[in-house]
Amino acid sequence: MTKLKAWISAARLRTLPLSISGILVASAAALFENVFSLHICILAILTTVGFQVLSNFANDYGDGVKGTDNADRVGPKRAMQSGLLKAKELKKGMIVTAAITLFLASLLIFSAFGNEQFLLSFIFFNLGIAAVIAAVKYTVGKSAYGYRAMGDIFVFIFFGLVGVMGCYFLFSQSLSNYILLPAITIGLLSVAVLNLNNMRDRVQDEKVNKRTLAVVLGAEKVKMYHTLLIIVAFIAAATYLYVTQNNYLAFIPLIAFIPLFLNIVKVYKTTNPELLDPELKKVALSTFLFSILLLATAFI
């Protein structure tokens, strides 16, 4: 494998649709309120992709250094684990990606606020720095929060609340009465993807003292937690559509929850955690489908 292919592998492009789902949902909400801006949307997508790639590099590096990625790992082989990239190379990649992403974030903030609103620009730039730190600290360092059962909280905050509500604010420079609801939906579904990953790796993570929420809750309770994530996400989405739309066609995005409910059944029936690996893609793509359908209904 060439170095370019190794970097592409480490970037884990399959995770990108989930990462931009929040931006698409915020864009749909902005279209509903007639405050949408195409150049802000594009910059927001590019910035979000940068944060996601940075997170993937950091996750590869952090788990590789700690020895979490070993022969017992169930999912796809990581770049460092496979010897395709060295720790030093991944660290440099993280630095370069963080710099590019913060530059894109700066362009995004300037496009939204210009020179006039310094305080808002300052707040959002610091949110960008916080996102960089969160992406790196998930698995890197002695205080990595991904090893302390806190990954779910950070994913909900940055994929859901910051991703959706923050992006909507960039469009409108205000928060609508109901934007919290789709933010909850995307946040919880993003957590569901992480939770599936942690359920799959629960036994191996426990061996290397990686305390994810799946390890803390155990095999049965984590299934109940997973069910709750999807059901509350559905309730939030349905409520948002009910209170903001007056057209039955606007409920089309809820079709994306059909495979999510089937996923709940699959999770409960699965006794071998390794068999959950294909379910990650299903939940991630269903979340992406919801965001695409919501965006499409904005043009109805």
In a domain, 238, yes or no: yes
Task: Give the other-Cβ count within 10 Å of 109's Cβ.
Answer: 23
In a domain, 24, yes or no: yes
pLDDT along the chain (300 residues), means of 10: 79 91 96 94 96 89 68 59 79 93 95 89 92 85 80 92 95 91 97 94 86 91 96 97 89 97 95 90 96 92
In a domain, 7, yes or no: no
In a domain, 115, yes or no: yes
Asked if 206 and 293 touch (Cβ cutoff 8 Å), the reply is no
Q: Which residues contact 284 (CB under 8 A, 6 or more apart)?
A: 14, 15, 17, 18, 193
- The reported pLDDT for the residue numbered 74 is 56
**Bridge partners of 211?**
148
- Give residue 14's region: left, alpha or beta (phi > 0; psi -120 to 50): alpha
Q: pLDDT for 220-264, tens place per residue?
A: 999 999 999 999 999 999 999 999 988 888 899 999 999 999 999
- The reported pLDDT for the residue numbered 71 is 54
Q: pLDDT for 24-57, tens place per residue?
A: 999 999 999 999 999 999 999 999 999 999 998 8
In a domain, 12, yes or no: no
Number of compact structural domains in the chain: 1
- The reported pLDDT for the residue numbered 67 is 61
Task: Please give the model's pTM, rounded to 2 decimal places.
Answer: 0.91
In a domain, 149, yes or no: yes
- The reported pLDDT for the residue numbered 179 is 96
Q: By percentage, how much of the chain surpasses pLDDT 90?
A: 63
In a domain, 4, yes or no: no
Boundaries of domain holding 258 = 17-297
CA of residue 28 relative to chain centroid, distance: 18
Q: Which residues contact 161 (CB under 8 A, 6 or more apart)?
A: 180, 183, 187
- Give residue 123's region: left, alpha or beta (phi > 0; psi -120 to 50): alpha
- Consecutive H or E run containing 53: helix 38-66
Between CA 86 and CA 91 the distance in angstroms is 9
In a domain, 3, yes or no: no
Q: Which residues contact 206 (CB under 8 A, 6 or more apart)?
A: 215
